[in-house]
Amino acid sequence: MWGWDLRTEDDGASDFALNERPEHISGANGHALSIVNGTGNGHFTNFAPIGVPVSQQQLSRAKRSFATRRLDLAAVPYIIGSVPAPQASQVILARVDQVGQHKRIELPDGRRSQLYEGDEIIVAYGARYAPDQFEAVVPGDCGPCELVAGGGIAARVLSRHAKIGRATKITPIGLLAGADGRPLNLSHCALPPAPRVSVMPSVVVVAGTSMNAGKTTTCASLIKGLSRAGLRVGAAKVTGTGSGGDVWSMHDAGASPVYDFTDMGYATTATTALPELEAITRGLIEHLAAAGVDVVVIEIADGVLQAQTAALLASRTISMMADAVVFAAGEALGAAHGVDWLRAHGLPIIAISGLVSASPLSAREAAQVTGLPILTIEQLTDGAFAPKLILRDGGLAAAQAVLA
Protein backbone atom coordinates (compact mmCIF):
# COMPACT_ATOMS: atom_id res chain seq x y z
CA MET A 1 0.00 0.00 0.00
CA TRP A 2 1.25 3.47 -0.85
CA GLY A 3 0.60 6.35 1.55
CA TRP A 4 0.65 9.97 0.46
CA ASP A 5 0.24 13.08 2.58
CA LEU A 6 -1.63 15.34 0.18
CA ARG A 7 -2.04 19.07 0.75
CA THR A 8 -5.06 20.64 -0.88
CA GLU A 9 -5.04 24.07 -2.47
CA ASP A 10 -6.36 25.60 0.76
CA ASP A 11 -3.60 23.82 2.76
CA GLY A 12 -6.00 21.33 4.25
CA ALA A 13 -4.37 17.95 4.82
CA SER A 14 -5.89 14.82 3.40
CA ASP A 15 -4.37 11.38 3.82
CA PHE A 16 -5.10 8.95 1.02
CA ALA A 17 -4.31 5.25 1.07
CA LEU A 18 -3.90 3.99 -2.47
CA ASN A 19 -4.35 0.31 -3.15
CA GLU A 20 -1.58 0.45 -5.71
CA ARG A 21 1.08 2.89 -6.73
CA PRO A 22 -0.36 5.86 -8.66
CA GLU A 23 0.22 5.31 -12.37
CA HIS A 24 0.20 8.98 -13.18
CA ILE A 25 0.65 12.22 -11.31
CA SER A 26 0.18 15.29 -13.45
CA GLY A 27 1.67 18.61 -12.45
CA ALA A 28 4.55 19.31 -10.10
CA ASN A 29 5.14 20.51 -6.59
CA GLY A 30 3.29 23.78 -6.14
CA HIS A 31 0.84 23.07 -8.97
CA ALA A 32 -2.42 21.20 -9.22
CA LEU A 33 -1.98 17.42 -9.09
CA SER A 34 -4.49 14.81 -10.05
CA ILE A 35 -4.16 11.24 -8.83
CA VAL A 36 -5.33 8.67 -11.34
CA ASN A 37 -6.07 4.93 -10.85
CA GLY A 38 -6.09 5.14 -7.07
CA THR A 39 -8.96 5.11 -4.61
CA GLY A 40 -8.86 8.89 -4.38
CA ASN A 41 -9.21 11.57 -7.03
CA GLY A 42 -8.67 15.28 -6.64
CA HIS A 43 -6.48 18.30 -7.17
CA PHE A 44 -3.67 19.13 -4.76
CA THR A 45 -0.80 21.53 -4.44
CA ASN A 46 1.81 19.59 -2.43
CA PHE A 47 2.40 16.00 -1.50
CA ALA A 48 4.80 13.97 0.59
CA PRO A 49 4.95 10.21 1.05
CA ILE A 50 3.79 8.84 4.40
CA GLY A 51 6.21 6.49 6.12
CA VAL A 52 5.16 3.14 7.50
CA PRO A 53 6.75 1.80 10.69
CA VAL A 54 9.95 -0.21 10.33
CA SER A 55 11.29 -2.39 13.12
CA GLN A 56 14.71 -1.94 14.63
CA GLN A 57 15.09 -5.69 14.31
CA GLN A 58 14.77 -5.49 10.53
CA LEU A 59 17.25 -2.62 10.35
CA SER A 60 19.75 -4.35 12.64
CA ARG A 61 19.62 -7.52 10.49
CA ALA A 62 20.40 -5.57 7.34
CA LYS A 63 24.01 -5.21 6.21
CA ARG A 64 24.78 -1.57 6.78
CA SER A 65 27.30 0.07 4.46
CA PHE A 66 30.30 2.22 5.34
CA ALA A 67 28.85 5.24 3.53
CA THR A 68 25.87 5.30 5.89
CA ARG A 69 27.86 4.83 9.12
CA ARG A 70 27.05 8.24 10.62
CA LEU A 71 23.29 7.67 10.47
CA ASP A 72 21.71 6.77 13.83
CA LEU A 73 19.47 3.82 12.98
CA ALA A 74 17.80 4.09 16.38
CA ALA A 75 16.30 7.37 15.11
CA VAL A 76 14.70 5.68 12.08
CA PRO A 77 11.06 4.86 12.88
CA TYR A 78 9.69 4.79 9.35
CA ILE A 79 10.34 3.60 5.84
CA ILE A 80 8.86 5.11 2.68
CA GLY A 81 8.04 2.86 -0.25
CA SER A 82 8.83 5.45 -2.89
CA VAL A 83 9.26 9.11 -3.72
CA PRO A 84 8.76 10.76 -7.12
CA ALA A 85 12.47 11.54 -7.55
CA PRO A 86 15.22 10.14 -5.27
CA GLN A 87 17.94 12.55 -4.20
CA ALA A 88 21.68 12.00 -3.86
CA SER A 89 22.70 10.80 -0.37
CA GLN A 90 19.21 9.68 0.62
CA VAL A 91 19.47 6.40 2.53
CA ILE A 92 17.58 3.27 1.49
CA LEU A 93 16.94 -0.26 2.63
CA ALA A 94 17.35 -2.51 -0.40
CA ARG A 95 17.24 -6.20 -1.32
CA VAL A 96 20.02 -7.91 -3.24
CA ASP A 97 18.53 -9.52 -6.35
CA GLN A 98 21.61 -10.72 -8.22
CA VAL A 99 25.24 -10.61 -7.09
CA GLY A 100 27.56 -9.15 -9.70
CA GLN A 101 30.79 -7.15 -9.65
CA HIS A 102 30.54 -6.21 -6.00
CA LYS A 103 30.25 -9.48 -4.14
CA ARG A 104 30.84 -7.90 -0.74
CA ILE A 105 29.66 -4.78 1.01
CA GLU A 106 31.92 -2.79 3.31
CA LEU A 107 30.49 -2.43 6.80
CA PRO A 108 31.07 0.62 9.05
CA ASP A 109 34.01 -1.12 10.76
CA GLY A 110 35.70 -1.84 7.42
CA ARG A 111 34.89 -5.54 7.29
CA ARG A 112 33.70 -6.67 3.88
CA SER A 113 30.61 -8.82 4.25
CA GLN A 114 29.77 -11.43 1.63
CA LEU A 115 26.55 -10.66 -0.25
CA TYR A 116 23.87 -13.24 -1.03
CA GLU A 117 20.70 -12.96 -3.04
CA GLY A 118 17.91 -11.92 -0.72
CA ASP A 119 20.18 -10.01 1.67
CA GLU A 120 18.88 -6.66 2.86
CA ILE A 121 21.41 -3.82 2.78
CA ILE A 122 21.44 -0.18 3.90
CA VAL A 123 23.01 2.03 1.25
CA ALA A 124 22.78 5.59 -0.11
CA TYR A 125 21.92 6.97 -3.51
CA GLY A 126 24.84 8.61 -5.32
CA ALA A 127 26.44 9.13 -8.71
CA ARG A 128 29.71 7.42 -9.57
CA TYR A 129 32.55 8.45 -11.89
CA ALA A 130 35.11 5.65 -12.03
CA PRO A 131 36.84 5.09 -15.39
CA ASP A 132 38.20 1.76 -14.13
CA GLN A 133 34.75 0.62 -12.99
CA PHE A 134 31.35 2.30 -13.42
CA GLU A 135 29.79 5.49 -14.66
CA ALA A 136 26.46 5.80 -12.86
CA VAL A 137 23.81 8.35 -11.89
CA VAL A 138 21.18 8.73 -9.19
CA PRO A 139 18.09 6.93 -10.54
CA GLY A 140 15.06 8.92 -11.63
CA ASP A 141 12.76 6.67 -9.61
CA CYS A 142 12.81 4.18 -6.76
CA GLY A 143 12.77 1.13 -9.00
CA PRO A 144 15.45 -1.55 -9.32
CA CYS A 145 19.01 -0.22 -9.68
CA GLU A 146 22.59 -1.32 -9.01
CA LEU A 147 25.18 -1.39 -6.25
CA VAL A 148 28.01 0.51 -7.93
CA ALA A 149 30.49 0.67 -5.03
CA GLY A 150 31.27 -1.71 -2.21
CA GLY A 151 31.11 1.17 0.26
CA GLY A 152 27.36 1.27 -0.28
CA ILE A 153 26.29 3.37 -3.29
CA ALA A 154 23.04 2.73 -5.13
CA ALA A 155 22.78 4.12 -8.66
CA ARG A 156 21.79 3.38 -12.24
CA VAL A 157 24.72 2.28 -14.41
CA LEU A 158 25.36 4.15 -17.65
CA SER A 159 28.62 2.45 -18.66
CA ARG A 160 31.35 0.18 -17.30
CA HIS A 161 34.94 -0.71 -18.03
CA ALA A 162 35.32 -3.65 -20.40
CA LYS A 163 37.10 -5.72 -17.74
CA ILE A 164 34.45 -5.10 -15.08
CA GLY A 165 31.52 -7.45 -14.60
CA ARG A 166 27.90 -6.40 -14.50
CA ALA A 167 26.90 -4.53 -11.37
CA THR A 168 25.16 -6.23 -8.46
CA LYS A 169 21.42 -5.73 -8.93
CA ILE A 170 19.32 -4.45 -6.04
CA THR A 171 15.72 -3.40 -5.48
CA PRO A 172 14.92 -0.63 -2.99
CA ILE A 173 12.50 -1.73 -0.28
CA GLY A 174 12.12 1.87 0.81
CA LEU A 175 13.79 5.05 1.93
CA LEU A 176 14.62 5.40 5.61
CA ALA A 177 12.59 8.21 7.19
CA GLY A 178 12.81 10.23 10.37
CA ALA A 179 10.19 10.99 13.00
CA ASP A 180 8.66 13.61 10.70
CA GLY A 181 8.12 10.99 8.00
CA ARG A 182 10.56 12.64 5.62
CA PRO A 183 13.33 10.73 3.82
CA LEU A 184 16.65 10.79 5.66
CA ASN A 185 19.72 12.15 3.92
CA LEU A 186 23.36 11.79 4.96
CA SER A 187 23.44 15.57 5.22
CA HIS A 188 21.21 15.25 8.29
CA CYS A 189 24.07 13.60 10.21
CA ALA A 190 27.00 15.62 8.86
CA LEU A 191 29.67 17.13 11.07
CA PRO A 192 28.64 20.46 12.59
CA PRO A 193 30.68 23.58 11.79
CA ALA A 194 34.16 23.38 13.31
CA PRO A 195 35.35 25.87 15.92
CA ARG A 196 37.73 28.51 14.63
CA VAL A 197 41.45 28.30 15.34
CA SER A 198 43.96 31.15 15.37
CA VAL A 199 46.74 29.30 13.55
CA MET A 200 46.11 26.88 10.70
CA PRO A 201 48.29 23.79 10.21
CA SER A 202 50.30 23.22 7.05
CA VAL A 203 48.16 21.67 4.31
CA VAL A 204 49.55 19.22 1.75
CA VAL A 205 47.29 18.34 -1.20
CA VAL A 206 47.77 15.06 -3.06
CA ALA A 207 46.23 14.94 -6.53
CA GLY A 208 46.88 12.67 -9.50
CA THR A 209 46.44 11.71 -13.12
CA SER A 210 43.61 9.22 -12.59
CA MET A 211 42.24 6.41 -10.47
CA ASN A 212 44.92 3.99 -9.31
CA ALA A 213 47.81 6.38 -9.98
CA GLY A 214 49.08 6.00 -6.42
CA LYS A 215 47.41 8.93 -4.63
CA THR A 216 46.39 7.04 -1.50
CA THR A 217 49.75 5.30 -1.22
CA THR A 218 51.41 8.70 -1.56
CA CYS A 219 49.17 10.11 1.19
CA ALA A 220 49.80 7.16 3.51
CA SER A 221 53.55 7.22 2.92
CA LEU A 222 53.78 10.94 3.59
CA ILE A 223 51.65 10.57 6.72
CA LYS A 224 53.98 7.83 7.98
CA GLY A 225 57.05 9.96 7.36
CA LEU A 226 55.57 12.98 9.12
CA SER A 227 54.40 10.82 12.03
CA ARG A 228 57.85 9.31 12.40
CA ALA A 229 59.15 12.84 12.79
CA GLY A 230 56.89 13.32 15.79
CA LEU A 231 54.33 15.50 14.03
CA ARG A 232 50.62 15.05 14.62
CA VAL A 233 48.97 14.49 11.25
CA GLY A 234 45.30 14.76 10.31
CA ALA A 235 44.02 13.55 6.97
CA ALA A 236 40.94 13.71 4.76
CA LYS A 237 39.73 12.47 1.43
CA VAL A 238 37.67 15.39 0.18
CA THR A 239 36.16 13.92 -3.01
CA GLY A 240 35.34 10.49 -4.40
CA THR A 241 32.96 7.61 -3.80
CA GLY A 242 31.99 6.59 -0.26
CA SER A 243 34.32 3.78 0.85
CA GLY A 244 36.53 3.13 3.83
CA GLY A 245 39.65 1.83 2.08
CA ASP A 246 41.44 5.15 1.82
CA VAL A 247 40.31 6.25 5.28
CA TRP A 248 41.66 3.07 6.87
CA SER A 249 44.91 3.40 4.94
CA MET A 250 45.46 6.89 6.33
CA HIS A 251 44.57 5.70 9.83
CA ASP A 252 47.03 2.83 9.57
CA ALA A 253 49.80 5.21 8.54
CA GLY A 254 49.33 7.25 11.73
CA ALA A 255 46.87 10.02 10.88
CA SER A 256 44.33 11.01 13.53
CA PRO A 257 41.70 12.14 13.05
CA VAL A 258 40.81 11.03 9.53
CA TYR A 259 37.69 12.25 7.74
CA ASP A 260 36.14 12.02 4.31
CA PHE A 261 33.32 13.69 2.41
CA THR A 262 30.75 11.28 3.86
CA ASP A 263 31.41 12.98 7.20
CA MET A 264 30.13 16.14 5.53
CA GLY A 265 26.94 14.42 4.36
CA TYR A 266 27.79 13.26 0.83
CA ALA A 267 27.66 9.65 -0.33
CA THR A 268 29.73 10.61 -3.37
CA THR A 269 30.93 13.86 -4.91
CA ALA A 270 30.51 13.04 -8.61
CA THR A 271 28.30 15.76 -10.19
CA THR A 272 28.55 17.90 -7.02
CA ALA A 273 28.66 21.65 -7.67
CA LEU A 274 31.88 23.56 -6.97
CA PRO A 275 30.52 25.65 -4.05
CA GLU A 276 29.64 22.41 -2.27
CA LEU A 277 33.04 20.87 -3.05
CA GLU A 278 34.74 23.92 -1.59
CA ALA A 279 32.52 23.78 1.50
CA ILE A 280 33.39 20.10 2.00
CA THR A 281 37.11 20.83 1.67
CA ARG A 282 37.09 23.85 3.96
CA GLY A 283 34.94 22.07 6.51
CA LEU A 284 37.17 19.01 6.73
CA ILE A 285 40.38 21.05 6.93
CA GLU A 286 38.82 23.24 9.64
CA HIS A 287 37.80 20.17 11.66
CA LEU A 288 41.32 18.78 11.41
CA ALA A 289 42.76 22.14 12.43
CA ALA A 290 40.41 22.27 15.42
CA ALA A 291 41.73 18.86 16.48
CA GLY A 292 45.14 20.45 16.97
CA VAL A 293 47.11 18.67 14.25
CA ASP A 294 50.41 20.00 12.97
CA VAL A 295 49.89 18.96 9.36
CA VAL A 296 46.83 18.19 7.21
CA VAL A 297 47.18 15.80 4.25
CA ILE A 298 44.21 15.78 1.87
CA GLU A 299 43.53 13.57 -1.11
CA ILE A 300 41.51 14.70 -4.12
CA ALA A 301 40.10 11.74 -6.04
CA ASP A 302 40.33 10.85 -9.74
CA GLY A 303 42.49 12.87 -12.14
CA VAL A 304 42.85 16.47 -13.29
CA LEU A 305 40.65 15.80 -16.34
CA GLN A 306 37.67 14.83 -14.17
CA ALA A 307 35.24 17.75 -13.90
CA GLN A 308 34.90 17.99 -10.12
CA THR A 309 38.62 17.39 -9.53
CA ALA A 310 39.62 20.06 -12.03
CA ALA A 311 37.13 22.57 -10.65
CA LEU A 312 38.25 22.04 -7.05
CA LEU A 313 41.98 22.22 -7.85
CA ALA A 314 41.37 25.47 -9.76
CA SER A 315 39.27 26.92 -6.94
CA ARG A 316 40.07 29.76 -4.58
CA THR A 317 39.76 27.37 -1.64
CA ILE A 318 42.68 25.20 -2.78
CA SER A 319 44.80 28.14 -3.89
CA MET A 320 44.34 29.80 -0.48
CA MET A 321 44.69 26.72 1.74
CA ALA A 322 47.27 24.50 0.01
CA ASP A 323 50.87 24.99 1.13
CA ALA A 324 52.21 22.21 -1.10
CA VAL A 325 50.94 19.84 -3.78
CA VAL A 326 52.35 16.38 -4.47
CA PHE A 327 51.23 14.89 -7.78
CA ALA A 328 50.78 11.12 -8.22
CA ALA A 329 51.21 9.82 -11.76
CA GLY A 330 51.23 6.45 -13.42
CA GLU A 331 53.82 7.29 -16.05
CA ALA A 332 56.01 10.14 -17.32
CA LEU A 333 53.66 11.65 -19.93
CA GLY A 334 50.82 11.87 -17.42
CA ALA A 335 53.19 13.44 -14.92
CA ALA A 336 54.30 16.04 -17.46
CA HIS A 337 50.76 17.04 -18.40
CA GLY A 338 49.59 17.11 -14.81
CA VAL A 339 52.47 19.29 -13.65
CA ASP A 340 51.89 21.71 -16.55
CA TRP A 341 48.20 21.89 -15.60
CA LEU A 342 48.94 22.54 -11.92
CA ARG A 343 51.53 25.19 -12.71
CA ALA A 344 49.13 26.90 -15.12
CA HIS A 345 46.68 27.21 -12.23
CA GLY A 346 49.30 28.65 -9.91
CA LEU A 347 49.45 25.73 -7.48
CA PRO A 348 52.57 25.05 -5.37
CA ILE A 349 53.60 21.72 -6.88
CA ILE A 350 56.75 20.48 -5.14
CA ALA A 351 57.15 16.83 -6.18
CA ILE A 352 55.83 13.86 -8.13
CA SER A 353 55.15 10.41 -6.72
CA GLY A 354 52.83 7.49 -7.43
CA LEU A 355 53.36 4.52 -9.70
CA VAL A 356 55.84 6.40 -11.87
CA SER A 357 58.30 6.27 -8.96
CA ALA A 358 58.43 2.47 -9.16
CA SER A 359 60.30 2.59 -12.49
CA PRO A 360 63.73 4.26 -12.48
CA LEU A 361 63.48 4.86 -16.24
CA SER A 362 59.99 6.42 -16.07
CA ALA A 363 61.00 8.45 -13.03
CA ARG A 364 64.05 9.78 -14.89
CA GLU A 365 61.88 10.80 -17.86
CA ALA A 366 59.37 12.57 -15.60
CA ALA A 367 62.11 14.38 -13.70
CA GLN A 368 63.80 15.55 -16.90
CA VAL A 369 60.63 16.99 -18.44
CA THR A 370 59.21 18.59 -15.27
CA GLY A 371 62.31 19.54 -13.30
CA LEU A 372 60.71 18.05 -10.21
CA PRO A 373 61.91 15.23 -7.97
CA ILE A 374 60.16 11.87 -8.18
CA LEU A 375 59.69 10.72 -4.62
CA THR A 376 59.59 7.03 -3.75
CA ILE A 377 57.72 5.39 -0.89
CA GLU A 378 61.02 5.07 0.97
CA GLN A 379 61.67 8.81 0.73
CA LEU A 380 58.15 9.82 1.72
CA THR A 381 58.20 7.55 4.77
CA ASP A 382 61.60 8.89 5.89
CA GLY A 383 61.05 10.73 9.15
CA ALA A 384 64.07 12.94 8.53
CA PHE A 385 63.07 13.94 4.99
CA ALA A 386 59.24 14.18 5.02
CA PRO A 387 58.93 17.17 7.40
CA LYS A 388 61.07 19.31 5.08
CA LEU A 389 58.34 19.04 2.41
CA ILE A 390 55.80 20.88 4.53
CA LEU A 391 57.88 24.01 5.16
CA ARG A 392 55.75 26.83 3.79
CA ASP A 393 58.74 28.51 2.18
CA GLY A 394 61.15 25.64 1.87
CA GLY A 395 59.20 22.59 0.75
CA LEU A 396 60.18 22.91 -2.90
CA ALA A 397 63.81 23.50 -2.03
CA ALA A 398 63.82 20.39 0.15
CA ALA A 399 62.27 18.33 -2.61
CA GLN A 400 64.67 19.75 -5.20
CA ALA A 401 67.58 18.65 -3.02
CA VAL A 402 66.65 15.09 -3.93
CA LEU A 403 67.71 15.83 -7.51
CA ALA A 404 71.06 17.21 -6.46
Residues 164 and 273 in one domain: no
The 3 state secondary structure assigned to 42-54 is CEECEEEECCEEC
> Which domain-ending residue is among 135, 161, 187?
187
Residues 235 and 280 in one domain: yes
What are the C-alpha distances in Å from 31 to residues 28, 45, 83, 183, 295? 5, 5, 17, 22, 53
Interior angle at CA 83, CA 79 and CA 85, nearest 5: 140
Query: Rounded mean pLDDT of 267-286?
Result: 98
Residues 90 and 31 in one domain: no
What CATH number corresponds to the domain at position 362? 3.40.50.300
Residues 240 and 113 in one domain: no
> Which domain-ending residue is among 187, 215, 239?
187
Contact 221, 376 (CB under 8 A): no
Distance CA 311, CA 301 (A): 12
Q: Which residue has the higher pLDDT, 400 or 5?
A: 400
Q: In what order do the strands lie in the sheet with 13-18?
A: 13-18, 2-7, 46-49
**Range from 24-28, 264-268, 325-329 carrying the lowest mean pLDDT:** 24-28
Which structural domain range is residue 179 located in?
52-187
Q: How many domains does the chain have?
A: 3
Q: What is the pTM of this model?
A: 0.86
> Which domain-ending residue is among 147, 164, 187?
187
Structural domain contains residue 193: no
Residues 177 and 164 in one domain: yes
Residues 146 and 250 in one domain: no
Residues 137 and 263 in one domain: no
Structural domain contains residue 195: no
Residues 75 and 38 in one domain: no
Residues 182 and 209 in one domain: no
pLDDT digit string, tens, across residues 32-90: 333 333 334 444 444 456 679 999 999 999 999 999 999 999 999 999 988 889 999 99
pLDDT digit string, tens, across residues 5-30: 443 333 444 333 333 344 333 333 33
pLDDT exceeding 70 applies to what percent of the chain?
84
Contact 25, 33 (CB under 8 A): yes
pLDDT digit string, tens, across residues 340-382: 999 999 999 999 999 999 999 999 999 999 999 999 999 999 9
Distance CA 59, CA 244 (A): 21
Residues 94 and 175 in one domain: yes
Half-sphere exposure of 158 (CA within 13 A, CB side): 11
pLDDT digit string, tens, across residues 140-196: 999 999 999 999 999 999 999 999 999 999 999 999 999 999 999 999 999 999 999
